[in-house]
Amino acid sequence: MRRKEGMRLRSLAFILCLLLFTDASAQLDPSSVLLLNRGNTNQGESAIDSGRYTVRPRDQSRRDDPRPVSGRRTNRGDEATDEGGELSPVTITIPDPPQVTENPPPVSEDSKDAVEERPSPPPRELSRRYNLVELSFAPGYLYSDSSSDYFYRSYTMSAPVLSVEASVWMNPHFALNGSFISTLSGHVNDSLEGGRNIPATQEWFTAGLRFREFFGRDVFASTVTFGIDYFDYKFRVPSDAQYREGLSSVGARVSLEAEVPVTVSRSWLFGVAFSPKLQHREEATETDVRSGGGVDANAVSISIGGRLQFERKNGIFWKLSHSVEKDLYSGEASDDDPRTGEKPTGVSVTNSITIFTFGYTWGN
């Protein structure tokens, strides 16, 4: 009797354990419920509500949860499938917005040096490149030596000079230029014994173009100015001169001048000019003398100087220039040489002129 009751109790206990185990196994995995809710909500609710379970509302905080879950992204938006075909959540990471700092990052020393070394345009009150008009006045002194084996072309002369020059700058790189130089109270010898002097004047006139180039943008920038000029030289004597005659040389001249600043206000000047082909002629006086039938003439000059610029509109300068004109005649001279009594052939003339000027430049 007791044995039968014990077996019944064991059977009852076994049935209760089986029921409890079956009830626990029937519960769905919470992650599966959440995964099903990530798709179509209506489909998931209808599929789950058709059974014994209801769908809990999604937790909004889990939508933004960045914890990674393995899976492969598909074309269904926020869903992913494993290799076995089961759905699993996919991680969506939202990047942080860029942070704006109040203080900019520090600039390196190399960057500071590069900014400091960058050339800046010179101030208008210091640089002559902003002048539209420049006028120069310069007194000076001249020494001229005409050396020749023909007496009519051999003489020396020294006298004060006055120089005037004007430049009109269309822009800092291009200008119209004109200059005039003339001797004052000059004279030459007009006798064989040297006892008679006559007035004599030497004049230079040029007109042309200037092209200027700056090698830099700061105050210390060097400049080179290239010029193309019409060149006209005159040697004038009275019409009653017995042994001297008027001279004229006309032609084109090219020039090049460099200005090299040493300080903000002081600079060096270097120049050279060349006239490759001049039309040279002799003008008759009391004696109509010709040194030959034809002549080949050319001239070259060099100069050195300095400039002291107080500010853009005012400055002073000095210049020392030396020029040489070479005239070579062909054929026989028209008159006998008064010293030798013979007519020379192939007369050669070398006219050397040295001029020193010290002047003032006004610009605006």
pLDDT in the model for residue 287: 81
Which residues, including other chains, have CB under 8 Å from residue 181's CB and lie 6 or more apart?
161, 162, 163, 164, 203, 204, 355
pLDDT in the model for residue 12: 72
pLDDT in the model for residue 151: 93
CA atoms of 198 and 195, how far apart (whole Å): 10
How many residues are there in the chain? 364
Residue pointed to by tokens 């400055």:
315
The list of the chain residues with pLDDT below 50 reads 25-26, 28, 30-53, 60-66, 68-84, 114-116
Give the number of other CB atoms < 10 A from CB of residue 92. Answer: 11
Which residues, including other chains, have CB under 8 Å from residue 177's CB and lie 6 or more apart?
165, 166, 167, 168, 206, 207, 208, 209, 210, 227, 229
CATH superfamily of 128-363: OMPT-like (2.40.128.90)
b/e burial code for range 326-348 (CB count within 10 A of at least 16 → b): bbbbeeebeeebeeeeeebeebb
pLDDT in the model for residue 17: 62
CA atoms of 276 and 301, how far apart (whole Å): 12
Using DSSP bridges, classify how beta strands 222-236 and 246-261 pair: parallel, antiparallel or unpaired. Answer: antiparallel
- pLDDT tens sequence across 230-270: 999 999 999 999 999 999 999 999 999 999 999 888 999 99
pLDDT in the model for residue 234: 96
Residues 121/217, Cβ–Cβ less than 8 Å: yes
pLDDT in the model for residue 33: 43
pLDDT in the model for residue 140: 97
Please name the helix (run of DSSP H) or strand (run of DSSP E) that holds residue 168, with its range, or none: strand 155-171
Give the number of other CB atoms < 10 A from CB of residue 323. Answer: 19
- pLDDT tens sequence across 170-229: 999 999 999 999 999 999 999 988 789 999 999 999 999 999 999 988 777 899 999 999
- Structural domain boundaries in the chain: 2-89, 128-363
Give the number of other CB atoms < 10 A from CB of residue 309. Answer: 22
